[in-house]
Amino acid sequence: MIDASIKGGGAVARDTSRRRLPTREELRVWREFIETAEALRGELAARLQDECGLSPADYVVLLALSEAEGRRLRSSELAAAVGWQRSRLSHHLARMEPRGLIRREDCATDNRGAEVVLTGGGADAFRRATVPHLSAVRELFVDALTPRQLAAVADITAALRTVR
Amino acid sequence: MIDASIKGGGAVARDTSRRRLPTREELRVWREFIETAEALRGELAARLQDECGLSPADYVVLLALSEAEGRRLRSSELAAAVGWQRSRLSHHLARMEPRGLIRREDCATDNRGAEVVLTGGGADAFRRATVPHLSAVRELFVDALTPRQLAAVADITAALRTVR
DNA sequence: GAAGATTGACACTTCAATCTTA
DNA sequence: TAAGATTGAAGTGTCAATCTTC
């Protein structure tokens, strides 16, 4: 790890950033990172599905609506709240509505708009899901790391966030 | 690595693991972690698609075949190599084949089996993709982190891997 | 014309069912 | 019956096109 390596003709001193490629070890860490995150996401999703019949997408939508004033939001506000594109939200709401989790209503103040309303069933489903879901996060992520490692995660994600 | 932890029962004071939920801060770190990984994956995927016309799934399949003896593998070996279920591989190969990236042939030694062969076009596409892709990994991941942080990533993923 | 939202087409993923050969 | 592989259905996600209203 001290010396530079590589396939592609990397070099030690002057900046060759346009040519340098990751070393085998760097690539290994990258793959571990991305695969671990994916595995965790998948395990959380599977548990949420099995125990509560909700997908992670369902969960974030229900969470956003639960926290909203009057348990309702304009479509575009909801999209912003969960960080989705409008089209993705539309498709997902179309799948949630027949399941009775949400309801769509016309917007009183803007005839173009739509409001998404949390139904009683949706609120129940979210309430039942929250403790199991948070417990799983604790078990699979928080408890798997030391406080020091947890702090390192925060540091690392902040560093990665600054790029692009 | 100094202080003890946890999972399974080690604890500092009395164990409340069955009831405790993540703190607000722990949840924030969790979300940052999962969202950062997702954002990175997405950015890499978008670049690979734009610059090379390949999805990450295409890339791993082409990589596995490139490294294989004779640039060909039995379907199930390929599935194992990339860590997919057979059905997923079948569906993906069905999309890659008409694009001329791979070809499927009957297996000589087992009439049930199929062999997946890397075509010339597939080899070209992979060759064109590899440097841009690895450069992007370096730029977005490796170069965004200090050597110390990179080592911390390896440490953290190892810790997370041991769970479940 | 621009904004809010939906729709259609297509790529991806998983599960269960199926088909063929061992 | 079990193994190798494919298929169909349904959920998910992105992009571009569309429709309505501002």
Low-confidence ranges of chain B (pLDDT < 50): 1-13, 16
Taking the C-alpha atoms of residue B162 and residue B157, their distance in angstroms, rounded to an integer, is 9
pLDDT value, residue A163: 73
Give backbone dihedrals phi and psi of B73, rounded to 5 degrees, phi first.
-150, 150
* Omega before B6 within 30 of 0, i.e. cis: yes
Give how far Cα B28 sits from Cα of A66, A82, A142, B23, B72, Å.
Answer: 18, 14, 11, 9, 45
pLDDT value, residue A2: 39
Taking the C-alpha atoms of residue A93 and residue A65, their distance in angstroms, rounded to an integer, is 12
Token pair, residue A105, equals: 């209503």
Mean predicted lDDT score pLDDT of chain B: 90
CA-based nearest residue in chain A for residue B138:
A22
pLDDT value, residue A3: 40
**Strand C contact set, beta carbon < 7 A:** A 42, 46, 74-77, 79, 86-87, 89-91, 93-94, 104, 107, 110, 112-115; B 55, 57-58, 84-85, 87-88, 91-92, 95, 110-112
Q: Most distant CA pair in chain A: distance in Å?
A: 65
Of A27, A142, A160, the CB nearest to B144: A160
pLDDT value, residue B163: 73
Stretch (H or E) spanning B57: helix B56-67
Q: Do A22 and B144 touch (CB under 8 A)?
A: no
Is A63 within 8 Å of chain B by CB?
no
> What residue has token string 């911390």?
B152
Q: List, as ranges, residues 135-164 from B with C-beta within 8 Å of A.
A: 135, 137-147, 149-150, 152-164
**C-alpha dihedral over A74, A79, A80, A86, to 10 degrees?**
-110
Neighbours of A108 (CB within 10 A): 8
Distance of CA A74 to the CA centre of its chain: 21
pLDDT value, residue A43: 92
Residue A24: burial class (beta carbons within 10 Å; 0-12, 13-18, 19+) = exposed
Q: Most distant CA pair in chain B: distance in Å?
A: 63
For the stretch B95-128, pLDDT in tens is 999 999 999 999 999 999 999 999 999 999 999 9
Low-confidence ranges of chain A (pLDDT < 50): 1-13, 16
Are B149 and A156 in contact by the 8 Å Cβ rule? The answer is: yes
Taking the C-alpha atoms of residue A80 and residue A74, their distance in angstroms, rounded to an integer, is 10
Q: Do A137 and B1 touch (CB under 8 A)?
A: no
Is the whole model's pTM more than 0.85, yes or no?
A: yes
Asked whether residue A162, judged by its CB, lies under 7 Å from any atom of the DNA or RNA strand D, the reply is no
Taking the C-alpha atoms of residue A92 and residue B67, their distance in angstroms, rounded to an integer, is 40
Work out whether the CA dihedral A67, A68, A74, A77 comes out positive or negative: negative
Q: Do A144 and B159 touch (CB under 8 A)?
A: yes
